[in-house]
Amino acid sequence: MTVVACPTCGKKVEWTPANKFRPFCSERCKQIDLGAWAEEKYTIPGAAASDPQDDKLADD
């Protein structure tokens, strides 16, 4: 059996099909994490998107 730490609170939880909230320990921790994504507290690194307006100005 695999045991992981809940990404939100750190509580140890079993990684099994019976745990419908995995990797979280509860619905509450799952919702807290979803809210953090919605508030853009997490980011995925990557190249900055170009602004189409900037491209138009460069062509002029």
Does an H or E element contain 54, and which? helix 52-59
6 labelled ligand-binding = yes
Question: How does DSSP assign 3-16, residue by residue?
Answer: EEE-TTT--EEE-S
* Residue 11 tokens, joined: 């509580």
Tell whether residue 35 is among the known ligand binding residues: no
Whether 46 has a binding-site annotation, put simply, is no
**Residue 29 marked as a ligand binder:** yes
Question: Which residues participate in the annotated binding site?
Answer: 6, 9, 25, 29
Question: Which residues participate in the annotated binding site for Zn(2+)?
Answer: 6, 9, 25, 29
